[in-house]
Chain A
Amino acid sequence: MTNLIGQSVKRVEDKRFLTGKGRYVDDMVLPNMTWAHIVRSDVAHAVIKGVDIDAASQALGVVAVFTGADMQADGMNGLPAGWQVDFKNGDTMKEPPHPSLAVGKVRYVGEAVAVIVAETHEQAVDASELVEIDYEELPAVADVVKATQEGAAQLFDDVPNNIAFDWELGDKAAADAGIDAADHVTTIEFRNQRLICNAIEPRAAIGDYDESREHYTLYTTSQNPHVVRLLMCAFVMGIPEHKVRIVSPDVGGGFGSKIPNYAEEIIVTWASKRVGRPVKWTAQRSESFLSDTHGRDHATKAEMGFDKDGKITALRVKTHASMGAYLSTFAPCVPTYLHGTLMQGVYSSPAVHVDVTAVFTSTVPVDALRGAGRPEATYVLERLLDQAAHELGQDPAELRRKNLIPPFDGSDAEPGFETKVALVYDSGNYEGVLDKALEMVDYAALRKQQEEARGEGRYIGIGLSTYIEACGIAPSAVVGALGARAGLYESANVRVQPTGKVTVFVGSHSHGQGHDTTFAQLVGDQLGIPMDDIEIVHGDTDQVPFGMGTYGSRSLAVGGVAITKSVEKIKEKGALIAAHLLEASADDLDYADGQWTVKGTDKSIGFGDVALTAYVPHNYPEGLEPGLEFSSFYDPANFTFPFGAHIAVVEVDTETGVVKLVRYAACDDVGNVVNPMIVDGQVHGGVTHGIGQALLEGAIYDDDGQLTNGSFMDYAMPRADDLPRFETSRTVTPCPHNVLGVKGAGETGTIGSTPAVVNAVIDALWPLGVRHLEMPLTPQRVWQAIQSANGK
């Protein structure tokens, strides 16, 4: 039962999912429940001259129809951004009101305009056809660069050139000088295309107001129910937190799209009070495309200078980042503090400067998408390194090796690495992962095969990516100074029941990550008790003390440490009780395998007996409180910095432009690992998400602001036969600043894989003259690039 850490324990949550007993929000039916259907804007930018709800209100089964005016009259505020990033010159970030139901204007296709509440879902949908909205259409702008240009449609009266804020990081003068002094400068200019998270469970929400208690319950598909409660109560609805319970039960994937506080959450909660009955809303997939926050959408130009030995002299990056039509919860932080701060990468570049312009466009708001900012940064760096290697005629692995930050473990002797862009890396061995990844694929042999294949007219490409990311967000004081409007600690309550069974209430939320297993392993290992004796509870603000939720690969590195702190307190108090029962001093006790033993004797007492004594304190230490339960909050000392090296091998059919991913090898270092099976699973999923961006995915808006591929028929995502079997391995460089030595594993795959795949394709086609490809690398694009390169 001990030594559970490091074991591939099978997941305890699986049985309910495998037998159809998972409980997702859309599975729930409350007594007397009504259904909401949301009427969404079908134009990208318009003045709302009128909303005629008369016919809809009279339709069969309709309970009520509400518009933005109703919510505004009831004092509902707009949805807030969770971060404030001010302009370079100190001016305040532009944060125009973002009402849950549009007031005055609509600014993207899909924006909620009215809500029908009816007896059945079908009746609500039927009635929605009868709502007549009189729009005065205005020009729209969906492109992030065009939106800042002269003559572009202006989304807000007081946001000149649609710029929400601009921001920079690093020493510009040093970066300029480094580029000027370089013997070679590699320049890339590209789009990091807009993606859609597309968790397979569509979002859903049920509002349930209890008038007798003046109390709201919201069931919602959230990655962070406490954050939603905080934002709803404090910013939007103006209701006190003790009158609101938020439950996020089983949630079918998040990938960032279930972080924000959404309009629909406010609408059903508010409407439930208005109609006096529970109100349920579940997104149809076509609605998800138009209302779940999107990700990425950067336009970037980057230059990297090299000296004659191939050492990096400087990096200079300029990015336009789309915010969509309004600022979503994490939106301002994604292209800045999760992107610009990662531009050092794993390289000892002496000068780095990043400049970001955040732009409103007539599109769905942008927020986190697996990796959130870090994949965009890694793409910049890793494309530059591979491109430079080709230009300089060097091997991409060797060019990287020349520039890697040397190993350090974060001890006093080998302190953290201070970057040029505001971070201090905790520990790293970047050459270690590169070597291991090269070994996994037998890199030298692979290069030889590539050469031979070229002789046969076959185009094999090998793409590398050596990444670092910042996880486990993070010290509240730091993020507060950077504009976060909340702390980013985590909390956990560990309750030992009188029989010695343990319930853990934790603020981290599991929506596929396997917390029920990993956290139970952790507690089982620390207390020396069977995992069967431990239950993990999450996703309910009435049960869990507090929590900042799950994103940024923070559950184990922050939540797991909060749990550990509570376990430590339980062991300390338990030792006092055990010492009393054993008539010994607590200092003379050892704790192992669920027992306290007097050192050097066979006198011992079990965890269960101590637990029972804590609740039946007849023979008990004087002055000690009964009970055995502790809550802890853990605010980390730093971010954690997982890293790794990924290698993609592709073969490109130059006749058709089809890219076949032949091999994919990932060597990641996520610090200590609790459950290798689960970590591998996270890597697989993350890598797949990144491959999707490289080869298949991309939201396409036309000039009128219409999303032209808003369905699973049109928006391509990886399917089983698009992918190879994944090869994974690890090195272990523990995090020095948390007791578990863990770093986080949820996003590594996504961050490492996208540039690895694109680099592989360009590597394959370099001899044909192909120098650049925009993602996704569809057959059409690849074929066209080959044709135009041949034409030159």
Chain B
Amino acid sequence: MSVPIRVTVNGAPHEHEVEPRLLLVHYLRDVLRLTGTHVGCDTSSCGACTVVLNGRAVKSCTMLAVQADGGELTTIEGLATDGELHPIQAGFKEMHGLQCGFCTPGMIMTAWQLLERNPDPTDDEIRHGLEGNYCRCTGYDNIVKSIRHAADNR
């Protein structure tokens, strides 16, 4: 059984017939081939799959594709404009906020929401805001600095 869905992803409209059990992250990765959004766990713990749906950061492994029907999504692929890195992306580069890069898209989408809600966060607020995202490489220190850098340069 398949169900029709219609979504806008990074500004582009898409219509597909999907299995009701298809997770949003697999829709993005396997159907749309937007592989920048990653799967790091199966318990909604790591945040590598974080995307923005209708202006809110969501863990796309914890939603079904059908739940996103009619929605507007932004993934890591949609953040840079005209080849210019988004200030958050630039912040991560500037402050060495990434190493292996696997958690990075989720971190950046989480940071996007964090700065939307709180444009001038303290370091503690940034750390609190990243609680849903695991990074095993950086020790988070440079991620905090990256987001601070983005806040200062938005």
Assess whether B137 is interfacial by the CB under 8 Å rule: yes
- List of A residues within 8 angstroms of B105 by Cβ: 20
Which of A186-194, A234-242, A682-690, A756-764 touches B? A682-690
Question: Interface readout for A706-740 with B: 1 if CB under 8 Å, 0 if not?
Answer: 00000111000111110101100000000000000
Q: Closest A residue to B41 by CB, please name it.
A: A285
Which of A317-325, A507-515, A523-531 touches B? A507-515
- Are B43 and A719 in contact, CB atoms less than 8 angstroms apart? no
Assess whether A773 is interfacial by the CB under 8 Å rule: no
Q: How many residues of chain B get a CB closer than 8 Å to chain A's CBs?
A: 56
| Secondary structure of the A contact surface, majority rule | loop
Assess whether B116 is interfacial by the CB under 8 Å rule: no
CB contact list, B1-30 vs A, under 8 A: 19, 21, 29
CA distance A122 to B48 in the complex (A): 21
- Are A10 and B94 in contact, CB atoms less than 8 angstroms apart? yes
- List of A residues within 8 angstroms of B93 by Cβ: 10-11, 14-15, 18
- List of B residues within 8 angstroms of A200 by Cβ: 38, 40, 46, 48, 100, 102-103, 134-137
Instruction: Known contacts A252-B100, A723-B140, A726-B139; decide if A18 and B85 are in contact (CB<8 Å).
Output: yes
- Are A24 and B38 in contact, CB atoms less than 8 angstroms apart? yes
Assess whether A449 is interfacial by the CB under 8 Å rule: no
- Are A285 and B99 in contact, CB atoms less than 8 angstroms apart? no
- Are A711 and B104 in contact, CB atoms less than 8 angstroms apart? no
CA distance A644 to B133 in the complex (A): 30
Q: Closest B residue to A24 by CB, please name it.
A: B102
- Are A685 and B138 in contact, CB atoms less than 8 angstroms apart? yes
CB contact list, A13-47 vs B, under 8 A: 13-24, 26-27, 29
CB contact list, B115-154 vs A, under 8 A: 123-124, 126-128, 130-131, 133-144
Instruction: Known contacts A10-B93, A18-B104, A200-B103; decide if A717 and B40 are in contact (CB<8 Å).
Output: no
- List of A residues within 8 angstroms of B143 by Cβ: 720
CA distance A717 to B36 in the complex (A): 24
Assess whether A310 is interfacial by the CB under 8 Å rule: no
CA distance A718 to B130 in the complex (A): 11
CA distance A771 to B77 in the complex (A): 53
Instruction: Known contacts A20-B35, A725-B141; decide if A717 and B100 are in contact (CB<8 Å).
Output: no
Q: Which of B45, B79, B102, B141 contacts A723 (CB 8 A)?
A: B141
CA distance A725 to B140 in the complex (A): 9
For the complex formed, measure the closest distance between the CB of B94 and the CB atoms of chain A, giving whole angstroms.
Answer: 7
- Are A725 and B123 in contact, CB atoms less than 8 angstroms apart? yes
Q: Which of B38, B100, B127 contacts A511 (CB 8 A)?
A: B100
Of the listed residues A20, A286, A678, A712, the one surrounded by the most CB atoms of chain B closer than 10 A to its CB is A20
For the complex formed, measure the closest distance between the CB of B113 and the CB atoms of chain A, giving whole angstroms.
Answer: 15
For the complex formed, measure the closest distance between the CB of A465 and the CB atoms of chain B, giving whole angstroms.
Answer: 17
Q: Closest B residue to A727 by CB, please name it.
A: B141
For the complex formed, measure the closest distance between the CB of A508 and the CB atoms of chain B, giving whole angstroms.
Answer: 15
- Are B46 and A681 in contact, CB atoms less than 8 angstroms apart? no
Q: Closest A residue to B125 by CB, please name it.
A: A721
Assess whether A145 is interfacial by the CB under 8 Å rule: no
Q: Which of A18, A21, A680 contacts B108 (CB 8 A)?
A: A18
CA distance A570 to B76 in the complex (A): 41
- Are A685 and B127 in contact, CB atoms less than 8 angstroms apart? no
- List of B residues within 8 angstroms of A201 by Cβ: 38, 40, 100, 102
CB contact list, A35-82 vs B, under 8 A: none
Assess whether A250 is interfacial by the CB under 8 Å rule: yes
| Secondary structure of the B contact surface, majority rule | loop
Assess whether A199 is interfacial by the CB under 8 Å rule: yes
- List of B residues within 8 angstroms of A207 by Cβ: none
- List of A residues within 8 angstroms of B138 by Cβ: 681, 684-685, 688
For the complex formed, measure the closest distance between the CB of B16 and the CB atoms of chain A, giving whole angstroms.
Answer: 15
CA distance A306 to B127 in the complex (A): 44
- List of A residues within 8 angstroms of B85 by Cβ: 15, 18-19
- Are A720 and B98 in contact, CB atoms less than 8 angstroms apart? no
- Are A721 and B131 in contact, CB atoms less than 8 angstroms apart? yes
- Are A512 and B100 in contact, CB atoms less than 8 angstroms apart? yes
Q: Closest B residue to A753 by CB, please name it.
A: B139
Q: Which of A198, A252, A677 contacts B38 (CB 8 A)?
A: A252
CA distance A284 to B25 in the complex (A): 14
- List of B residues within 8 angstroms of A22 by Cβ: 36, 101-102
Assess whether A388 is interfacial by the CB under 8 Å rule: no
- List of A residues within 8 angstroms of B96 by Cβ: 10-11, 677-678, 680-681
For the complex formed, measure the closest distance between the CB of B60 and the CB atoms of chain A, giving whole angstroms.
Answer: 13
Assess whether A489 is interfacial by the CB under 8 Å rule: no
Q: Which of B37, B124, B135, B144 contacts A20 (CB 8 A)?
A: B37
Q: Closest A residue to B76 by CB, please name it.
A: A20
CA distance A606 to B100 in the complex (A): 36
- Are A285 and B43 in contact, CB atoms less than 8 angstroms apart? yes
Assess whether B75 is interfacial by the CB under 8 Å rule: yes
Assess whether A253 is interfacial by the CB under 8 Å rule: yes
- Are B89 and A18 in contact, CB atoms less than 8 angstroms apart? yes
CA distance A723 to B45 in the complex (A): 18
- List of A residues within 8 angstroms of B130 by Cβ: 719-721
Of the listed residues A18, A26, A681, the one surrounded by the most CB atoms of chain B closer than 10 A to its CB is A18
- Are B139 and A20 in contact, CB atoms less than 8 angstroms apart? no
Assess whether A537 is interfacial by the CB under 8 Å rule: no
For the complex formed, measure the closest distance between the CB of B88 and the CB atoms of chain A, giving whole angstroms.
Answer: 9
Assess whether B82 is interfacial by the CB under 8 Å rule: no
- Are A712 and B102 in contact, CB atoms less than 8 angstroms apart? no
- List of B residues within 8 angstroms of A717 by Cβ: 134, 136
- Ranked 5 nearest A-B pairs via Cβ: A20-B36, A17-B101, A252-B102, A512-B100, A712-B45
Give me 8 A-to-B residue pairs in the complex whose CB atoms sit less than 8 angstroms apart, sorted by A's number: A198-B136, A200-B102, A252-B102, A514-B99, A681-B142, A720-B127, A721-B127, A723-B141
Q: Could you list 17 further interchain pairs (A-B, Cβ under 8 angstroms) beyond the known A285-B46, A512-B137, A719-B134?
A: A11-B93, A14-B101, A15-B93, A19-B76, A24-B38, A26-B39, A199-B102, A200-B38, A200-B100, A200-B102, A202-B39, A285-B40, A684-B141, A713-B45, A720-B140, A721-B131, A725-B141
* A contacts, CB < 8 Å to B: 10-11, 13-24, 26-27, 29, 122, 198-202, 250-253, 255, 284-286, 511-514, 677-678, 680-681, 684-689, 711-713, 717-721, 723, 725-726, 749
